[in-house]
Structure 1
Amino acid sequence: MPGQAIPPPCSFLQVGQAFTGIQNVSNSQKEEAWKVNVRLQGCDIQHGYLCGSMEALNVPSAETPVVTFWEGQIVDNRNYTFFTGQWDASPDTDVKHWSKFSSFLPLSDTVERDGGRSLDLATYPSIFMRWKEKFFVNVGADCGLTIAGFYYVCFSRNNGAVQGFYYDPNSSPFQKLDLKATNEGRAGASFASYQFQ
């Protein structure tokens, strides 16, 4: 959207930045949480794009950690808005998921009124994104997991904390992702690396 400022650089949105935490995949039948590691592989703030790898550990249906490659959209009202417009997400679905984040609530009325297009998000303390897993890196599609859905993500500029909610109409609703930024990659240590082709 013309007229919207480009967000300033964020020290936590850099290639190589690692995050670690938990994805809660519990449903009415079972309590389950996976340890998750994420690493940013690419980041282009000007075009609202980022990508990375996500590693899920202790997945009961998989013998090894499951690694996926994902691409992300940064909600900046220049390249992407709060309304997804794809992946089976309706505007109502979008608002329900964004509303799970407390930092979205002050923006809610404006988003419902005009899609949030009038908001200047360049210096807002939270960065809203969508992460869409594109393919499995180290396992086949028969690993027992699906990547049909995507994550609504809220990222803190202040401390690099990531909260997300997975949306897939065919999976448990509101699977929660909680990640914290680490110093991995900045100090020379990292979890296993994978080459994408």
Structure 2
Amino acid sequence: MPVRVESSTPSLISGADPKQTTPQACTLLSVGQAFSGTQNVSNNQKDEAWRVNVRIQGLDLEHGYLCGTMEALNVPMADTPVVTFWEGEIVDGKNYNFFTGKWQAAPEEDIRHWTKFPSFAPLMNQVEVDGGKSLDLSNYPCIFMRWKEQYFVNVGTDCGLTIAGFYYVCFSCSDGSINGFYYDPNSSPFQKLELKSTNEGRSGFSFSSYELQ
């Protein structure tokens, strides 16, 4: 069962132990956990959604790190499902804050994307001040992250897709759902990622296994 959250109100940290900012352990965010859903890649010319599977391969809450694979199943220009390996940053105020500071994402762009998530609203004022460094998010009902695809696992770079951008991600600790928005200045804006936690043995989903080098 998912971990119950005692409080959904963020607090400010004043001289607190940095360990207090570590996000809560959530049973639905764990190594081996799988998620399934869609990524909307609509633009002015077309309206299209790709089926997407994600699996968590590694997780280190203390250092704000996680990694996994993403599999896009019905990519029009690819003959096979396209699998990428990604690494993630968990926004915890200690290792990473809400300001990305790289990947061509200015603070204004960060705010534009984070505000797409309703659960970000109570954090907005403090994030504008210091990127959220002084917020204690350890009991917050959502975990905010960035996912950056690092390389293609099963296809070459000539597959017609780009992994130049990254995802702003919001994970719900109550039901394991994931919402995200892809950011790449050279791609269609606000491509939405919507995933739900799956239990492979009961839901009927099956996922391929990949050897990561």
TM-score range, shorter chain: over 0.9
Matches within 5 A, 1:25-64: 25-64=41-80
Structure 1: gaps (5+ residues): none
Percent same amino acid among aligned pairs? 69
Q: TM-score, normalised by structure 1?
A: 0.96
Q: 1:19-49 CA deviation, whole Å, 9 max, x = no partner?
A: 0000000001111110000000000011100
Structure 2: gaps (5+ residues): 1-12
SS at the partner of 2:136?
A: coil
Cα displacement (A) at 1:8: 2.3
* Equivalent residue in structure 1 for 2:117, among 82, 101, 108: 101
CA distance in 1, matches of 2:101, 2:17: 22
Letter in 2 for 1:119: L
* Equivalent residue in structure 2 for 1:177, among 179, 184, 193: 193
What count of residue pairs does the alignment treat as equivalent?
Answer: 197
SS at the partner of 1:181?
A: strand
Q: TM-score, normalised by structure 2?
A: 0.89
Q: 1:70-97 CA deviation, whole Å, 9 max, x = no partner?
A: 0000000110000001100000010000
Aligned to 1:75: 91
Q: 1:81-130 CA deviation, whole Å, 9 max, x = no partner?
A: 00001100000010000000000011111101121111111110010000
Bigger mean CA deviation after superposition, 111-120 or 20-29:
111-120
Q: 1:137-192 CA deviation, whole Å, 9 max, x = no partner?
A: 000011111000000000000000000000000000000000000012799x7410
CA distance in 1, matches of 2:119, 2:64: 20
Letter in 2 for 1:126: C
Cα displacement (A) at 1:7: 2.1
